Amino acid sequence: MTDTVAAKPASLIGQRIAKMDAPEKASGRTRYIHDISLPGQLHAAILRAGRVHARIVRIDVSRARALPGVHAVITAADVPGQRPIGVAKDHLPLKRDRVRSVRDEVAAVAAETEAIAQQALALIEVEYEDLPVLADAEAALDPGAPLVHPPVEGAPAGAPTGIAGRADNIAMRFDYTHGDVAQGEAESDVVVEDSFSLHYVTHCCMGVSGVIAEFDARANLLLYSNTQVPFLHKREFAEILGMDPGRIRIIQPPIGGGFGSKLDIYPFEVICVFLARATGRPVKLVYSREEEFIASPTRQPVRLTLRSGCTRDGRLTFRQVHTLHDNGAYTSWGATTPFVMMQTFSSLYRVPHCDYHTVAVYTNNPYAGSFRGYGNLQATFAVEAHMDRMAQAIGMDPLEFRRRNAQVAGEVSGQGMVFRSCGFQECLDTAAGRSDFQRKHREYAAQRDAGGPVKRGVGMASMLHVGGGAKIYPSDGCGTILKLDDFGHVTLMTGASEIGQGSETVLAQLVCEELGLPISAVTVVNNDTDITPWDVGVHASRTTFIAGNSALGAARKAKAKILAGAAARFECQADDLDLTGGRIVRKATGQTLSDLPRFLRSLHFSDRAELVMTSFYYEPPSVHQDKEFKGDVSAAYAWGTQVVEVEVDTDTGNVRLLKVTAAHDVGRVLNRLGIEGQVEGGIVMGQGYALTENLIVDEGKIRNPNYRDYKLVTAPEIPEMDIAFIESMDGEGPKGAKGVGEAPAICMAAAIAAAIENATGVRITSLPFTPERVYRALHGALPPTPPAPRVPA
Amino acid sequence: MTDTVAAKPASLIGQRIAKMDAPEKASGRTRYIHDISLPGQLHAAILRAGRVHARIVRIDVSRARALPGVHAVITAADVPGQRPIGVAKDHLPLKRDRVRSVRDEVAAVAAETEAIAQQALALIEVEYEDLPVLADAEAALDPGAPLVHPPVEGAPAGAPTGIAGRADNIAMRFDYTHGDVAQGEAESDVVVEDSFSLHYVTHCCMGVSGVIAEFDARANLLLYSNTQVPFLHKREFAEILGMDPGRIRIIQPPIGGGFGSKLDIYPFEVICVFLARATGRPVKLVYSREEEFIASPTRQPVRLTLRSGCTRDGRLTFRQVHTLHDNGAYTSWGATTPFVMMQTFSSLYRVPHCDYHTVAVYTNNPYAGSFRGYGNLQATFAVEAHMDRMAQAIGMDPLEFRRRNAQVAGEVSGQGMVFRSCGFQECLDTAAGRSDFQRKHREYAAQRDAGGPVKRGVGMASMLHVGGGAKIYPSDGCGTILKLDDFGHVTLMTGASEIGQGSETVLAQLVCEELGLPISAVTVVNNDTDITPWDVGVHASRTTFIAGNSALGAARKAKAKILAGAAARFECQADDLDLTGGRIVRKATGQTLSDLPRFLRSLHFSDRAELVMTSFYYEPPSVHQDKEFKGDVSAAYAWGTQVVEVEVDTDTGNVRLLKVTAAHDVGRVLNRLGIEGQVEGGIVMGQGYALTENLIVDEGKIRNPNYRDYKLVTAPEIPEMDIAFIESMDGEGPKGAKGVGEAPAICMAAAIAAAIENATGVRITSLPFTPERVYRALHGALPPTPPAPRVPA
């Protein structure tokens, strides 16, 4: 026991902390799934239809099977009990007698090398009979439209769509309402209506999709998978494979980016398991980049009509929305984006009356998955366009109009979301103030008709998103196991996966803050379902909030255990002690009683014989939505406002993004470096969505499956950014923090549209703002808004 | 809630349960360290002295360094801060200016392939100046003997031997006493004295030594190591490398056998880390079989003189022992075997008075490590020979003589060991009864001089060993973390390593018994120091006892948590409920209330939001020995008696082992199949020690470093076995069990010596009983006992 009084080290909260995996990644040493090579491992490849819609007449795999080095060639005929996968269970991994989209899986090979597998694919002969292609969502509603999943004769009653088929092309529909839109309209001084058309983009993760499947000698299944939801997948895979879920173990290698595309199970994963079962060997399947473009899910394309109203004094009165979604040939999470869009329609700003009607239809197009923001980019694009239009209609400054309708803490939205912490007003004021929005907005509008062809504009948009998880599954919780060794080194076993968002660093930070240790004292274990406790997965911007509270709970228990031991040893109250700087100190005086590692050894190597091991499960106090889709689905909500400044070349239609000023209500900044990275990345993703990215789907075929023709934003195009964080100190969030993972991508397209309008006077309601589209719009070759989608009664 | 009453499944305890790793091993799919290949991995090789004792005049590595594909060549000069390793810190990994044994490490290479590494070794030029060889333990005591670690001029005061050297060759010595041997001798009617000579054998693990060392980009060290003591090694490696132990992570691949050789740190491991540091790459070093023979530790050779006395009525009066140990050139665990030998000298049978004096000396021979039984084979060989000699001297049946001196439960030995559970008498009676020992012993002795050259004999020996751990380190405990998933699958994270002894199966079984689950419901995680809680390591037959109690503790907490939840749900008392057959049942009626997986989901996916995760640290109630080496060092003790029957061909000296009847007090049988395997394996190991195995060390050189010349027992020579388990139901043991890992190897040599004597009338006191030695002994060409070792005053 020493008497030293050392200076209390600064809190880790809010510091700029490098991501724990950064050194490995920056030095090229991270071992992705590509780098894993198991003894005896085979390589798989998938034969895809290439046809958009066709009947499979005949498949001959005999020549492929005869190729030396080939261990298995399988088609649907080799897997008689196949069960449909996906959100609506409408998707057989290996297609039986019909292909419905260009990426459809017809056969698969496992071979000694990738080259042999590809060679074998080329030896498979498939005879097709083409069927009429359904490539348009509205046409899918025609009574005489080709059916993508026609009813299957003799299918058992109650069989899933993938087996039974259906009599129309409707994949999903629902209606939402709060208040009385007719009343809202009656109270309106202004009513505006526009239609919007949102396009296909795709995730472009640097790490392509991949999986390794292996059965051990006891028939347990081990999957190395890039999934974002390992615990949900245990159950999903088990159902699909007819296995006990307890016998499936999922290990996640470091994931080369995940933005939602890794939330669903895809045919390639199940096929890989089939091949592992057929060969008795570990089988690895990794997409090529072209395959990643063709066969991984997109952001959900949507056409929507929005009617909005307000009073003369700038009070929103109602919103009425119809959306028509192109579901593609199968149903993945894209089909559920309306549930998130609904939150924006119903609750971004005070909306007293709201109706929302949505339909998703099957076509022969690619299908959409979840994607950062999850429908909210699309919804916000429309809602914020109307905020501007209405402000114009009543002659009000767009900031002022928004301020009058933006909620404050304590409000409950029409959909039942309870806004306990809320920094919306501060977001608006901060983004506007730091960007000098109001002055510029006035001046640029005034300069519109003067000067040369290059115009400047500023635009503003705001967003609302869940910030404390989203209670969609039976639990929205996360478990943590914490273990300290004899040297003060902490192992944090968390159910929450690291997919590049920096969660392991934030979780380590929260634990270290509690235990008074440096961040280097932690190993985070977060990639093995057999070791880590359950978590619902990485989605809904929930990890910092949910897993953070879980880690904090376990750390608090560990701290209590240590301080109880110390209180006994040093004959004082645990409450009088604290952990800081790797030491046990007296709170009142800062006097050091022991350094922590030494004390841990003395706890362990004494009559107490204690190891510090704790566990904690955190379940947020949110609730499931009721049957009317109402309820406080998240433990906290996040807001943000972004102001963008653009330069539009009216001669070429080229839009340059000059600057983004972003203000996000994040509850509290935990890792300043990490959160800045999240916001910067989101801004650039939103920029790409607005300006450059466009997955060209032409009669069901993808025309630009490569980085030459699919234009990602690259470094020189990244704008200046001014990022501000509004710290609303959420009462439930870990140290006050809320989720922000998806937020920064959400308003960019809306803000850019506004800025283009500010620069040119033209509001474009279709994405993306490619030079061609902007040029046509400026020169009258595009209608002001696309036609309203036809929606069935 | 159903009302089914299902039959209660049989207890798992005592069942024959296949080892969990058996399917993988039997199908050749287990991935040993050999099978691990990390991206960028280099291969290391070590240049060994080849000389027995020499000064290093010059090393030239320039040609080796120039070889393409070589990444690093290092000698002691490249690692200036080298710290000595080993039990006595007398061993520099890379030798500086002197080699002291033929296996000494002089230089090491890391290269792209093993072949290049070997090629590079051949290009290293070393000039030596030979020094006088010290190859005999007695000669090491001569005043003029060459010094193996001569004092180093200018070495700092207090520096370890490896740096400072010493003025004599004495590596270790101590003296033990209880009672008063003079008094014991005075009370004796018979006093016998003999000398014994025990030879070198080596472990012959099927998996040779190996390690992979890698620094990550944050300079944390990851070791893939076959160690048996990963948690102790974290600290050891840290001290050697000058690192924070918290930054060292040790992962154990499946280990190809471990019998104690993997308890110490060896130069190759440290050298591999040096190479990983020098190259910035993962570096792998795996021994060849010849290297394994030459450079891995042996069983400790010893020469000992035993004086024993008894009264005419068969009561032991005293034992006096001197042992002289050849420590070899460096000190590993072999030097500490006298501490275990002491337990047998002091406490195998009631010994009222005992003296024990022991010295270990440095020579230029190989050094010994720990090895299953840990000196007890050697001690028991001598003690049991005297039990027979004294019985003969007083004309008493050898069984009867032993029975009179064998302890019963409740006794405390002279060394302070408290025998709470004790089945010693039952072991004697059972082994003798089932083998018809007394009749055969009489008859074979009577037939000795009749018939042909092939004689039969039976011999008996017993042993005492720790059976409830051994409190040698600051803690003898083990930690467990348990986690149940939503499907009733259990992950058991235990500090205890599986090294082939079947511990993971026994631990899984104890957990499943408690939770009413089948053994297939468990994944055991036991090979990663970052994940599993602390355990002292696999030694001292402690795993079933210590880790078993730890696993049971965690399982009991899990059961309590589940039943508390169930009691709340089903509105009853937790005490009224039980877990069995994967169900929650009412104890009284057997009525099923829920199947367990469904109930776990309902706990998780409800307002309780509970995951079942528990942890437990078990520390046995044993104590450290005091300064006189006395104390109750283990929580339980194990006994065994083995009766062997042999056939001796007096014309050739060949001894055939026909049958072994073994009775072991194991407390309680947990896994009958596993424990039978342990006993069978131990018997064969003891058979090899007695009859065939002999590491020939000739002036410091090993003459038979291969399986052609080093004779392991092979399948056809394995005798018939009759194995009985005495279930003394230890009060502290898990479900009553005690340790038995080392026990079955311990008495074999002693029993075979007795059987040879029964067959031929000649007692041989040197091992092994090769045909040559037996022939010479039978024909008078060997002294009846070897000369007594000289022991310094």
3-state DSSP call for residue B587?
A: coil
Q: Which of A564, A573, A576, A558 is nearest to A515 (CA)?
A: A558
Q: Is the confidence at residue B577, as pLDDT, over 80?
A: yes
Residues in chain B within 8 Å Cβ distance of A615: 481, 483, 611, 613-615
CA distance A264 to A628: 26
Q: Contact at 8 Å (CB) between B541 and B640?
A: no
Residue found by looking up tokens 């390589």 in the block: A43
Rounded-to-10 torsion of CA A755, A759, A764, A768: -60
CA distance A276 to B525: 24
pLDDT digits (tens, 9 = 90+) for A726-756: 999 999 999 999 999 999 999 999 999 999 9
Q: Contact at 8 Å (CB) between A616 and A557?
A: yes
Residues in chain A within 8 Å Cβ distance of B491: 530-531
Q: Contact at 8 Å (CB) between B460 and B403?
A: no
**Beta B490-494 vs B522-525: how paired, if at all?**
parallel
CA distance A181 to A194: 17
The predicted pLDDT at position A784 comes to 66
Q: Contact at 8 Å (CB) between A407 and A350?
A: yes
Among the partner-chain residues A39, A531, A617, the one whose CB lies closest to the CB of B531 is A531
Cβ–Cβ of B481/A479 closer than 8 Å?
no
pLDDT digits (tens, 9 = 90+) for A574-620: 999 999 999 999 999 999 999 999 999 999 998 889 999 999 999 99
CA distance A465 to A374: 10
pLDDT digits (tens, 9 = 90+) for A765-782: 999 999 999 999 999 887
**Per-residue confidence at A788, pLDDT binned at 50, 70, 90?**
confident
Question: What single-letter DSSP state applies at residue B769?
Answer: -
Q: Which of A467, A344, A442, A348 is nearest to A402 (CA)?
A: A348
The predicted pLDDT at position B4 comes to 59
Q: Is the confidence at residue B372, as pLDDT, over 70?
A: yes
Q: Is the confidence at residue A793, as pLDDT, over 60?
A: no
Residues linked to residue A196 through DSSP beta bridges, in sequence order: A304
Q: Is the confidence at residue A313, as pLDDT, over 90?
A: yes
Q: Please count the helices (runs of H) and the strands (runs of E) in chain A.
A: 20, 28
Phi, psi of A248, deg, nearest 5: -110, 130
The H or E element spanning position A481 is: strand A478-484
The predicted pLDDT at position B323 comes to 97
Among the partner-chain residues A24, A491, A534, the one whose CB lies closest to the CB of B530 is A491
Q: Is the confidence at residue A280, as pLDDT, over 80?
A: yes
Average confidence score pLDDT of chain A: 95
CA distance B773 to B767: 8
The radius of gyration of chain A's CA atoms, rounded to the nearest angstrom, is 28
Name the amino acid, one letter, at B577: L
The tokens describing A3, both together, are: 């008497």
Q: Which of A553, A477, A458 is nearest to A515 (CA)?
A: A553
Residue found by looking up tokens 């099927």 in the block: B206
Q: Is the confidence at residue B159, as pLDDT, over 90?
A: no
Q: Contact at 8 Å (CB) between B125 and B60?
A: yes
Cβ–Cβ of A615/B610 closer than 8 Å?
no
CA distance B198 to B378: 7
The predicted pLDDT at position B792 comes to 61
Residues in chain B within 8 Å Cβ distance of A41: none
pLDDT digits (tens, 9 = 90+) for B245-266: 999 999 999 999 889 999 999 9
Q: Contact at 8 Å (CB) between A618 and A550?
A: yes
pLDDT digits (tens, 9 = 90+) for B582-606: 999 999 999 999 999 999 999 999 8
Q: Contact at 8 Å (CB) between A637 and A740?
A: no
Going from the C-alpha of A28 to that of each of A366, A428, A517, A707, B216, the distances in angstroms are 34, 41, 28, 22, 11
Candidates B531, B557, B610, B614: best to mutate against A (most CBs of A within 10 A) is: B531
Q: Is the confidence at residue A18, as pLDDT, over 80?
A: yes
pLDDT digits (tens, 9 = 90+) for B530-546: 999 999 999 999 999 99
- Angle ∠(B685,B687,B690) on CA atoms, nearest 5: 110
User: What is the mean pLDDT of the segment spanning B44-48?
Assistant: 98
pLDDT digits (tens, 9 = 90+) for A184-203: 999 999 999 999 999 999 99
Complex confidence, ipTM: 0.95
Whether B37 has its CB under 8 Å from any CB of chain A: the answer is yes
pLDDT digits (tens, 9 = 90+) for B473-511: 999 999 999 999 999 999 999 999 999 999 999 999 999
Residues in chain A within 8 Å Cβ distance of B29: 40, 216-217
The H or E element spanning position B312 is: none
Going from the C-alpha of A755 to that of each of A437, B234, B771, the distances in angstroms are 11, 60, 99
Among the partner-chain residues A247, A487, A523, the one whose CB lies closest to the CB of B530 is A523
Is the bond preceding residue B768 a cis peptide, omega within 30 degrees?
Answer: yes
The predicted pLDDT at position A6 comes to 65
**Per-residue confidence at B325, pLDDT binned at 50, 70, 90?**
very high
* Burial profile B738-747: b = 16 or more Cβ within 10 angstroms, e = fewer: bbbbbbbbbb
Question: What single-letter DSSP state applies at residue B468?
Answer: S
Rounded-to-10 torsion of CA B239, B241, B242, B244: -80
Residues in chain A within 8 Å Cβ distance of B525: 530-531
Instruction: Classify B645 in phi/psi space as left (phi over 0), alpha (psi -120 to 50) or beta.
Output: beta
Residues linked to residue A320 through DSSP beta bridges, in sequence order: A307, A355
Q: Is the confidence at residue A1, as pLDDT, over 50?
A: no
Q: Contact at 8 Å (CB) between B465 and B665?
A: no
CA distance B432 to B425: 11
**Per-residue confidence at A7, pLDDT binned at 50, 70, 90?**
low
Residues in chain B within 8 Å Cβ distance of A485: 234, 245-246, 529, 534
Residues linked to residue A220 through DSSP beta bridges, in sequence order: none
Name the amino acid, one letter, at A576: D
User: What is the mean pLDDT of the segment spanning B362-373?
Assistant: 96
Among the partner-chain residues B29, B487, B534, the one whose CB lies closest to the CB of A246 is B487
Domains, chain B, in order of start with CATH, read: 22-30+477-618 (3.30.365.10), 33-132+208-255+262-295 (3.90.1170.50), 302-470+626-778 (3.30.365.10)
pLDDT digits (tens, 9 = 90+) for A108-161: 999 999 999 999 999 999 999 999 999 999 999 999 999 999 998 888 888 888
CA pseudo-torsion sign A750, A755, A758, A760: negative
The tokens describing A481, both together, are: 């196991």
Whether A31 has its CB under 8 Å from any CB of chain B: the answer is yes
Q: B380 Cβ partners below 8 Å, 6+ apart?
A: B344, B348, B461, B462, B463, B746, B747, B749, B750
pLDDT digits (tens, 9 = 90+) for A237-265: 999 999 999 999 999 999 998 899 999 99
Nearest CA in chain B to A613: B615
The tokens describing A675, both together, are: 């959160």
Q: Which of residues 689-748 of A touch B (CB under 8 A)?
A: none
CA distance A732 to A638: 13
Q: Which of B327, B654, B442, B609 is nearest to A620 (CA)?
A: B609
Q: Which of A537, A502, A467 is nearest to A265 (CA)?
A: A537
The predicted pLDDT at position A668 comes to 98
DSSP B91-135: B-SS-SSEE-STT-EEEEEEESSHHHHHHHHHT-EEEEEE-----
User: What is the mean pLDDT of the segment spanning B680-699?
Assistant: 98
CA distance B738 to B543: 9
CA pseudo-torsion sign B504, B507, B513, B514: negative
Phi, psi of A545, deg, nearest 5: -70, -55
Q: Compute how many other C-beta atoms are within 10 angstroms of the C-beta atom of residue B182.
A: 12
To the nearest whole angstrom, how far is the Cα of A455 from the nearest Cα of chain B? 48
Residues in chain B within 8 Å Cβ distance of A483: 481, 531, 533, 615
**Per-residue confidence at A2, pLDDT binned at 50, 70, 90?**
very low
**Per-residue confidence at B1, pLDDT binned at 50, 70, 90?**
very low
Going from the C-alpha of B141 to that of each of B138, B166, B172, B359, the distances in angstroms are 5, 13, 12, 10
